[in-house]
């Protein structure tokens, strides 16, 4: 490898939204992409379009995650954890199974993802976690989501402390509302980023020299997005 990180990218949550946009952008930048998500038809179509590979996996299923990551043999230059789920409920009426599902995908899944690929990262490799503005500010009816993303950021900080001395970068991208189907909910902010803008940010950070230390990065939209004021 001559000291250069591998031109391979592993992207979770790649069947839609930010994960899909990131897969497209990194493939366009010359990365060989391996895609991970739950929905096989979407993954298959995208991998064929991009000339990549894919594995179907549910990040709420720890044994399945471990098995899926164990099949990946190559060194990884960029790894992106973009898998995520959003549940909307008041605390008083929040079903426990939906709380557990949110924590499992948004937080525990990130831990499993990281643990499963650490031995495939080398100096110069980068790992990114897609967080949210909700990590720093609780939102009405989004208690599970906010808690999971706040935990994700603390996890990423701890991982960075372990990996940065080895020359492996750990970054967290915390976008404001993003115009994806997950945001098609009541009372969503009208100011929405495009998923491609988040992907562009990840690609920019991935291209920084290994000597640049990554720190949490927040990005927001300044214009209204396509889900704003949608009739219901």
Domain harbouring 184, CATH code? 3.40.50.720
- Domain membership of residue 205 (yes or no) is yes
Backbone torsion region of residue 205, taken as left when φ is above 0, otherwise alpha when ψ lies between -120 and 50, otherwise beta: alpha
pTM: 0.90
Which one of 31, 81, 133, 145 is the catalytic residue?
145
Answer yes or no: 31 catalytic: no
Residue 232 lies in a domain: no
Reading the block at residue 79, the tokens are 């790894």
**Span 207-225, pLDDT tens digits:** 999 889 888 899 988 766 5
Residue 231 in domain: no
Q: pLDDT per residue over 93-126, tens digit each?
A: 999 999 999 999 999 999 999 999 999 999 999 9
178 secondary structure, DSSP code: B
The answer to whether residue 67 sits within a structural domain is: yes
Residues 10 and 164: their CA atoms lie apart, in Å, by: 19
Residues 181-204: what's their mean pLDDT?
78
Position 62 in a domain: yes
Q: Residue 165: which domain range?
A: 8-219
Residue tagged 């976008």 (tokens): 175
In a domain, 2, yes or no: no
Separation in Å, CA 115 to CA 12, 65, 144: 14, 10, 23
């Amino acid at each position: 490898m001559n000291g250069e990180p591998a031109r391979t990218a592993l992207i979770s949550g790649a069947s839609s939204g930010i994960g899909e946009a990131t897969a497209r952008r990194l493939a366009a930048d010359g990365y060989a992409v391996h895609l991970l998500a739950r929905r096989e038809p979407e993954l298959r179509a995208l991998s064929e379009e991009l000339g990549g590979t894919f594995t179907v996996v549910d990040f709420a299923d720890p044994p399945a995650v471990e098995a899926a990551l164990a099949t990946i043999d190559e060194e990884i230059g960029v790894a992106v954890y973009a898998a995520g789920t959003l549940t909307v409920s008041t605390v008083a009426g929040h079903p426990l199974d939906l709380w557990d599902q949110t924590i499992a995908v948004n937080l525990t899944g990130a831990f499993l993802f990281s643990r499963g690929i650490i031995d495939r990262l080398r100096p110069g490799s980068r790992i990114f976690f897609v967080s949210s503005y909700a990590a720093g500010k609780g939102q009405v009816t989004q208690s599970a989501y906010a808690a999971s993303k706040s935990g994700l950021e603390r996890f990423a900080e701890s991982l960075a402390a372990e990996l940065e001395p080895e020359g492996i970068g750990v970054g967290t991208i915390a976008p404001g509302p993003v115009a994806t189907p997950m945001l098609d909910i009541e009372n969503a902010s009208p100011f929405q980023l495009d998923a491609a803008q988040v992907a562009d940010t990840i690609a920019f950070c991935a291209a920084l020299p290994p000597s640049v230390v990554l720190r949490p990065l927040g990005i927001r939209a300044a214009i209204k997005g396509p889900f704003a004021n949608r009739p219901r």
